[in-house]
């Protein structure tokens, strides 16, 4: 494990813990956000028969870096009637909430922030901090569009947390663990061991579980999509009604931090869904390292599969964003309370019966 290696290298628990907790941010999340912003613009461009950014670097590869340099130079505007203290605190709290989730996400067999037993429940808990941060930002902006956006965002996140949690409870009942690392280990080796295909236990239970798990996967994917406020659930920042929702008043690096938190959230939900249903960091077809007897290669391969599944679902989210129109507020609530929640309750009961019998 990474922590032991760092502990031996530095000789101090505190320094090792600090380095380990900063590693996902600097080695993964920041490069990922740079890449994802470019990907979003390229995907949207090609879907609308445009080319997207083309000028900076080869096919616009350095566009995001140029944008970041521009954002750093921007003046940090704080309007006179903003609530200064909370206005400055809000991006920080939103980012802390979304980054804290990465502590329990296994990046590969060798890198896991904290192997706590409550993994997935911990992630659900720290997401609550994001809601408080969003409300804080919307209120402190002292702008009616910001406040409306923040209210909508909070109401939406709270409503869609229910189907998410119900599906998570279903998964916990089948796997018997809340630890994302153990869950990924449980679905190891081949893709037919993935939970979406009934899990590794063969028999009648697997056949019964397959249709239920496919529906559960769709439910949790849609409800987590709503939790990160992406299209078709992006009414909190509906450009045509609310300018851009709770971060309308933010400029420069504070806006960039909100943006980073959004991309971090998108990636976090992708890897959580893949850890629950698609084997997490486990390879679907076995490891090259096992084939050639190179055990040191396996963690790197696991990291590749982790990033591949995560980025694939981020791509699906972008795909949906540039394909589907936005929900209306009443449709949004009806979809959650009249379709997702009853379906997930029924699945929870059936899976309970299956696991007892």
Partner 1 sequence: MTTYDLIFYLFAAVTLISAFFVVTNRNIVHAAFYLLFTLFGIAGIYVMLGSDFVAIVQLIVYVGGILILLLFGVMLTNKITNVDIKTGTIHALPASIVMGLFAGALGAAVFNTNWKVVELTSAEASTTGLGVMLVNEYALIFELLGILLLIALIGAASMARR
Task: Select from 36-44, 116-124, 211-219, 304-312 the region that touches partner 1 (CB under 8 A).
Answer: 116-124
Spell out the long-range contacts of 69-73 with Cβ–Cβ below 8 A and sequence spacing 24 or more. 71/252, 71/253, 71/255, 71/256, 72/252, 72/253
Total residues binding partner 1 (CB under 8 A): 27
Question: Which DSSP symbol is given to 77?
Answer: -
Specify the residue, 86 or 191, whose C-beta has the smaller distance to partner 1.
86
| CB 215 to partner 1: min, Å | 25
Task: Select from 117-125, 193-201, 219-227, 237-245 the region that touches partner 1 (CB under 8 A).
Answer: 117-125
By CB under 8 A, name the one of 47, 92, 124, 218 that touches partner 1: 124
By CB under 8 A, name the one of 19, 23, 56, 151 that touches partner 1: 151
Backbone CA torsion sign across 90, 92, 94, 96: negative
Helix (H, G, I), strand (E, B) or coil at 266: helix
CA quadruple 301, 304, 309, 312: dihedral, nearest 10 = -150
User: Residue 94 interacts with partner 1 (CB under 8 A)?
Assistant: no
By CB under 8 A, name the one of 79, 118, 324, 346 that touches partner 1: 118
Nearest Cα neighbor of 317 from 280, 282, 269, 355 is 269
Distance CA(265)–CA(339), nearest Å, equals: 24
Task: Select from 126-134, 200-208, 218-226, 320-328 the region that touches partner 1 (CB under 8 A).
Answer: 126-134
| CB 21 to partner 1: min, Å | 13
| CB 206 to partner 1: min, Å | 26
Q: Do 91 and 254 meet the contact criterion of CB atoms below 8 Å apart?
A: yes
Nearest Cα neighbor of 280 from 253, 314, 315, 305 is 305
By CB under 8 A, name the one of 39, 135, 180, 238 that touches partner 1: 135
Specify the residue, 132 or 307, whose C-beta has the smaller distance to partner 1.
132
Specify the residue, 12 or 331, whose C-beta has the smaller distance to partner 1.
12
Q: Residue length, the chain?
A: 357
E strands in 4-150:
none
Distance CA(305)–CA(283), nearest Å, equals: 6
| CB 181 to partner 1: min, Å | 13
User: Residue 117 interacts with partner 1 (CB under 8 A)?
Assistant: yes
Specify the residue, 33 or 174, whose C-beta has the smaller distance to partner 1.
174
Nearest Cα neighbor of 234 from 166, 339, 157, 163 is 157
Q: Do 164 and 227 meet the contact criterion of CB atoms below 8 Å apart?
A: yes
By CB under 8 A, name the one of 131, 256, 268, 272 that touches partner 1: 131
User: Residue 127 interacts with partner 1 (CB under 8 A)?
Assistant: yes
Helix (H, G, I), strand (E, B) or coil at 254: helix
Map the footprint of partner 1 across residues 8-47, applying CB under 8 A. Answer: 13-14
Helix, strand, coil percentages for the chain (3-state, nearest 5): 75, 0, 25
User: Residue 228 interacts with partner 1 (CB under 8 A)?
Assistant: no
User: Residue 294 interacts with partner 1 (CB under 8 A)?
Assistant: no
User: Residue 92 interacts with partner 1 (CB under 8 A)?
Assistant: no
Q: Could you give phi then psi for residue 349, rounded to 5 degrees?
A: -65, -45
User: Residue 129 interacts with partner 1 (CB under 8 A)?
Assistant: yes
Specify the residue, 71 or 96, whose C-beta has the smaller distance to partner 1.
96
| CB 1 to partner 1: min, Å | 16
Interface with partner 1 (CB under 8 A): 13-14, 83, 86, 93, 116-118, 121-122, 124-129, 131-132, 135-136, 139, 147, 151, 154, 158, 161, 178
């Amino acid at each position: 494990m990474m922590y032991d290696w760092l502990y031996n290298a530095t000789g101090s628990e505190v320094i090792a813990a600090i380095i380990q907790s900063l590693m996902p941010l600097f080695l993964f999340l920041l490069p990922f956000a740079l890449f994802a912003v470019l990907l979003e613009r390229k995907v949207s461009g090609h879907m609308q028969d445009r080319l997207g950014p083309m000028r900076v670097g080869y096919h616009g590869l350095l566009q995001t870096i140029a944008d970041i340099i521009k954002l750093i130079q921007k003046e940090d505007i704080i309007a006179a009637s903003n609530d200064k203290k909370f206005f400055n605190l809000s991006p920080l709290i939103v980012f802390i909430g979304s980054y804290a989730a990465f502590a329990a996400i296994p990046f590969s067999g060798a890198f896991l922030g904290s192997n706590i037993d409550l993994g997935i429940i911990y992630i659900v808990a720290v997401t609550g901090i994001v809601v408080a941060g969003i409300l804080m930002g919307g209120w402190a902006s002292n702008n009616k569009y910001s406040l409306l956006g923040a209210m909508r965002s909070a109401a939406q996140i709270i409503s869609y947390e229910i189907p998410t949690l119900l599906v998570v409870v279903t998964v916990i009942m089948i796997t018997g663990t809340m630890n994302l690392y153990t869950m990924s280990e449980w679905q190891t080796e081949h893709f037919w061991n993935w939970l979406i295909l009934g899990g590794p236990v063969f028999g009648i239970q697997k056949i019964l579980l397959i249709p239920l798990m496919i529906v559960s996967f769709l439910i949790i994917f849609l409800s987590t999509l709503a939790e990160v406020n992406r299209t078709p659930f992006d009414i909190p920042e509906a450009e045509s009604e609310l300018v851009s929702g709770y971060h309308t008043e933010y400029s420069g690096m504070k806006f960039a931090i909100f943006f980073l938190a959004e991309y971090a959230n998108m990636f976090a939900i992708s890897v959580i869904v893949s850890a629950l249903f698609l084997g997490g960091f486990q390879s679907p077809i076995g490891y090259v390292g096992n084939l050639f007897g190179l055990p040191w290669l396996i963690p790197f391969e696991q990291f590749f599969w982790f990033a591949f599944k995560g980025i694939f679902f981020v791509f699906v989210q972008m795909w949906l964003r540039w394909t589907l129109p936005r929900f209306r507020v009443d449709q949004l609530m009806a979809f959650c309370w009249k379709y997702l929640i009853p379906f997930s309750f029924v699945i929870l009961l059936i899976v309970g019966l299956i696991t007892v019998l």
